Structure 1
Amino acid sequence: MARRTRVRPFGAGIPAGRTLSLVLLLFIVGLCVLRARQPGFWTWLAIDDSRQLVLTDDDLPQNQLHTTVKAHKASAETGPASQVINNTHPDEWSSFSNEAQPIEDRQALQQVDMPAYWRLMSWAKSESFLDLLQRANPQVLFVNLWEEPQVHRGQPVRLRLNVRRVLSYQAGDNNLGITQLYEAWGWTTDSKSFPYVVVFPELPAGLHLGADINAEVEFAGYFLKVMAYDAYETRRGAPLLIGQLRLLQPTATNSPTWPKPRELILWAGGILAAIGLAIAFGIRQYRQSHPSMAAIITNTSETVRPSLVEQTEVPTASTPSTIENQLTQIPQETTSSTESNNTLTVLADAEKTTSASNDQPWFNVSDSTAQTSGGIDLFAQPFRPKSPSAEK
C-alpha cells in the first residue's frame, strides 16, 4: 500500500510546478530591478523633443524655442578670447555678478539671460579643457544646483554625462567668432532620470548629432541657471551649463544599443540557469507521477510476499504439500460418500463373523496414518480374522 504524502507549506511537499513558477518569477523580478536601476530607462519621462519656453501667453514669443533664441552680441568688456579669463579675475566676476542679477531660475532661457550666457561662453573658450577640468568641482550634485542655484551660479562644475541627444544651432552675432553652438542632453549617476543641459562651442570628434545618441562624455563648464522646459504637459527643470566636453566612449546614432559583453554573459547565464532548473524540476515531477516498472514490481512483490507467507503452512512429514492437497481435495470430496458406505458394510459383515473370544481389534488403527479429524483413519483397510477352516 502506497504511503500517503502530506503536503506541507514548504519543503519537498510543494509540487515542483509551483516551485518552478516561484523561481522564474523571482528571476524576472530581478531582471526588472536591474533594468530599472539604469538611468537611461527613465529618460522618456524627463526628456521630450518639443521643449517650449515656460512663460505666460503674453510673454511667449511666437515660434520661439530655446534653440532659436537669438544670441546677443558679446559685451565689449569681454572682447575676443585672446587671453585666459575666468571667474578668478575680480573684474570679470564683478561684471558677471551684475549681469546675473535679472536671471530667474526654473524659468526658460530669456533675453535678459544672454549677457551672462555669453560671458560664461567666453570664459569657457579662453581656457583649455584640461585646465578647466582641474578647477571644476566634481562634488556638485544635481540636488545642489536645484536647491541652491545662486550659490553655484558662475562656478565651474565637472560632470560625467550619459548623453542621449546632441543638437546644433546658429550662434548669431558675437565678438567671440563663434558661428555654431552645440547642445547636449544627458544625465549622471546621481541625477537618474533628471537631465542636464550643456552648451559647448566645439563638437568633439566621434560625437554625432541626433536625437537618439548613446555616448558617455566628460564635461567641465560653468553653471548658469535651472532652465525650465515642458515635457508631456508638465513643467520640468534642467541645470544649464556652458563649457567644453570630451568623448569617453564611442557613440551610436539611430541604432539599437547592444548590451555589453558582461551584460550578455549575465543574461546568458541567467537564461541557462532558468532552463536547467526547469528541466530538473520537470524530470523530478515526471518521476513522481510516472514511476518506473522496476519500482512497480518491487513495490508489488514487497506487498504480496508477507500475505503469502502468512497464508501458506509449512509442510511436515504428516502433512502433504499444499499443491498435493489442492490436487487431491476435489477427488476426495467426490469419493467420500462411496467409501463411507463401503466401510459401513464391512463393519456389519465383521460383526456377524467375529468371534466373542477373540480380543484382537477388528480393524487396524495406525497412529502414523491417523488424520487430524477425530484421530481415526476412515480409509484404513479393515482387519478380517481368519476362520478355523482357513487356518487348516
Structure 2
Amino acid sequence: MRFDDTQQPVPYLNRQDQRRLLGMVAGLSFIVIAILWAARPETWHWLIPADNESAQNAPLSEEGDAPPFTVGESPNPFGSSPDPVNSSVPSEKTVNSSRVGSATNIPPEWLESINDQFMGLRADESDAYYRILAHISRLDVDLLNKHARKDILHVNLIHSPDLYRGELLSLKGTARRILPLKTIENPYGVKTAYEVWITTEDSGNDPWRIVTTSLDKRLPRGENVNAPVKLVGYFFKLYSYASNGGQHMAPLLLAAQVEPNIVVKVAPSGTGLQPYIILFAALFGFGTLLLVTAYHQGDHIFRTEMSHKFRPEDFESRKVLQEMAGKEYDPTEILKQASIKKNDPA
C-alpha cells in the first residue's frame, strides 16, 4: 500500500484573486499614464497659470522692401486710356448667379459698366465705384466677416474676373504701400479714401490693390511699409498699372476699413479643469484606500474560515506517514501491531 501525497496546487487563481490583480494592474496603468501626462511641459499651466499681462503683441511693421511696382495716381482717379490694354482678359460677361438674397450682396446692375479691358478706372465706372464704397461702409462688421469668402485666390480673379465680380472677400496679407487717395465729388458722400497695396501667401510678389474709406490709426503710411493687415472688401475689377517690369494687373477690392492683423502671443492661462482634476485625484485616493481595506478584511475572513475547516496538524502522524511513503506494508500486520500495543498495558 502506498501513502504518496498526490495533492497538487490549484493551477489557477480564484475569482477574488483575479479581481485583485486586475485592480492592481488598472491602478498601475493609471499611475503610468498620469506620470507621462504630467511630464509634458504644456500641461503645467493648470498648476502654475501664466501671467497674461506679460504677453506682447507681434510687431506691427518691420523694415522691408515693397514689391517691384510703382503706381502714380493722377488727380482724377478715373483718368484712363481709351484704348484696351488687357487683351488677355475675356470680354464675355459671366454673371455669378449665387449672389442673391442677402444684405451683403451687390445687385448685378451696379456692375454692368465695369470693364477690365482698359487701364486704370474709367469715368463711367465712378458711380459703381463710390456706390459700393458707401454701401460697404454702412454694413455691420460682423455681418461682413460672416459672409466674406476665404476660398478665392489671386489667380482665380486674374483668370475669371467676371465670375467673381462683386464677391465679398476676406484677406490677410502684408501691406507694402499705404497712401491717401484723392476723391472726386460724388452723390454718395464718400470724401476720404486710401489705397493699400498688399501681398498675400497665394499671390507671392503679385499685389492686390485695396481702396478703403477708413484706415486704422495704428497702421503706418508711406511708399515702403511692411505691416500685417486684414480686411473685408468687394472685388471690383482688375486694375491695370504700369510697373518696372511693364504692364501688370492687380485685383481691385473696395473695403470699409483696413486693420492691422495683430497676433497676440498669450501664454495659456489654464483650461478650467483644475477643480475636476483635484476631485478626481481625491476620489481615486479614496477608492484606493477602500480597496486596500477591503482586501485586508477579506484576507482576515479567509484565514478565519480556513482555521475552522482545517484543524491543527498532527505532526506525529505526519512523521509516520512520511516514513511510510514509498514502502509496501501488509495492512494485517499493521493492525496486529496496533492491537498488541492497545492490549499491552506497558
Q: How high is the TM-score relative to the length of structure 2? A: 0.47
Q: How high is the TM-score relative to the length of structure 1? A: 0.42
Q: Which has the higher contact order (CA 8 A, sep 6+)?
A: 2
